[in-house]
Amino acid sequence: MGAHVFLVVLVIYFLLPLWWLIVASTKDAHGLFSGTGGALWFDKTFALFDNLGLLFTYNDGIYLRWLGNSVLYAVSGGAGATALAILAGYGFAKFAFPGRRLSLALLLGSVMVPLTALVIPTFAMLSQVGMTNTIWAVILPSLLNPFGVYLMMVYATDAIPDELLDAARVDGAGELRTFFTVALPLLRPAAVTVLLLSFVGTWNNYFLPLAVLSSNNLFPVTVGLGLWDGLANSASGTGTTSLWSLIILGSLVSIIPLIVAFLSLQRYWRGGLAVGSLK
């Protein structure tokens, strides 16, 4: 009984901010600060659709551009980071090559380095080659995921029996064919995990695009909402349109792609566990 109560408390604790976000998105500027429903309940004025229309048309629809930029960065960075993690993790797990131990040590060391600590050196390198304020300034650093490589290496070590690879080689399959037809299907659950982690990490990334981008049209949604937050807190942002309603609703809309990604890829965690194995 006590464990169930504790779990219910945890569920409420984690869902309460989401509930507040949903409720606040239905309020207009007046309802946010002086409404009658309270912070955790709906106001008498339901302004969700009005807020949506304003969100997608404010400043020539810049929010939709920010949302599209986030999709571009997250999909490109997530897919690229997953592909590199699969190849590198499989290589570390199943091949012996000169410098493997040193490379593995460097990999494990890089996992311990906070990503924010690498933003300024990354900005310096990108500025030297003229890539700042471009989409590549966000996509290229997102392709490096040391934790994803480590996760794939650990998973490939146990999920792919060496006997299975040897059997494929004896049957005349080359290394590429062995990888794509035998190893890759077995790596699907780990690959989906790395893809989701990379997608979410790139989508929620704030400091890197803030440092390497200067054009509003290239901002992801995280930096764009931060820009609106700065305007809402300044004297110049207190005009006839309240940005607070747009910031709150924009935050709610920005998590919908993450929910869709999790729900659509969830089934692949179970599927592929035994695909390609010996029968």
Report which DSSP code applies to 216. Answer: G
Half-sphere exposure of 249 (CA within 13 A, CB side): 24
Decide if pLDDT at 20 tops 70: yes
Q: How far apart (Å, rounded) are the C-alpha atoms in residues 153 and 108?
A: 11
Q: According to the model, what pLDDT value does residue 97 have?
A: 87
**What are the structural domains, with CATH classification, of the chain?**
1-46 (no CATH), 48-269 (1.10.3720.10)
Q: According to the model, what pLDDT value does residue 269 have?
A: 61
pLDDT in tens, 121-177: 999 999 999 999 999 999 999 999 999 999 999 999 988 998 999 898 888 888 899
Decide if pLDDT at 254 tops 90: yes
Residue whose pair of structure tokens reads 């929620």 in the numeric block:
204
Q: 205: exposed, middle or buried (C-beta count within 10 Å: 0-12, 13-18, 19+)?
A: buried
Decide if pLDDT at 58 tops 50: yes
Q: How far apart (Å, rounded) are the C-alpha atoms in residues 45 and 190?
A: 46
